[in-house]
Amino acid sequence: MENKTIWKIDPAHSEIMFKVKHLMITNVKGEFRKFDASISTSNNNFSDAEIEAEIEASSIFTNNDARDNHLRSADFFNTENNKNITFKSTGVQRSDDDFIVTGDLTMNGITKSVTLNVDFGGIIKDPYGNEKAGFSATGKLNRKDWNISWNAALESGGLMVSDEVKITIEAQFIKQV
C-alpha cells in the first residue's frame, strides 16, 4: 500500500470566492467564510492528489445582510436543509505547474461534476517550520444545475441574476506530519 501525505487547508490564508452578474451590467462578489479541505497525495507534485472540501453554506458573505439572508433562504442555498457544500475530486491532470481537476460538487442536495483550472504556486517552509503548498483555482458553473434558479425579469429585458457563476479559490495547505 502506498504511503500518502495529508495536506490540510490553512483557512487563515485561503479564500473561496464567487462572482455573478447582477442586472446584466456589473458583477457582485461574495465568499464563503467557513470551510475545510484536505489533499491526500503520495508525492510533492500532487499528480495523484485526492481532494476533499466542505463549505458551510450559511457562511456566505456578500457585504449585504439582506442579500446574504436571501441567499441562505430556499430561493438559493436553502441552508436550513442543506448545511454544507461538498467537493470530492474524481480526477487530476497535471501539465507543468497547472492542473485540471474534476470532481463531484454537491450543493442544494444535488451532485454534479465540475472542472477547475488550478495553478500550483509551489511549496515553501513558513517562518514557523511548516511546509506549505499554494494553489489558485478558477471555474464556472451554471447555478440552475443545482436547482438554484430564483430570478426576476427586468423591465428593460434580461434577468436580475445571471445563471453563470465564476469561482475563484486561493488556497494554502499545510503538510501534516
pLDDT one-digit tens code per residue, 19-66? 886 666 677 888 999 999 999 999 888 889 999 999 999 999 998 898
Q: Facing residues of 133 across strands?
A: 123, 173
Report the C-alpha gap between 1 and 46 in whole angstroms. 18
Distance, CA of 35 to CA of 11 (rounded, Å): 7
Cβ-proximal residues to 161 (8 Å cutoff; 6+ apart), any chain: 20, 21, 22, 150, 151, 152
How large is the average pLDDT for residues 150-159?
55
Distance from C-alpha of 32 to C-alpha of 1, rounded to nearest angstrom? 36
Domain 5-175, CATH:
2.40.128.110
**Domain residue ranges in the chain:** 5-175
Cell numbers at 114, concatenated: 465540475
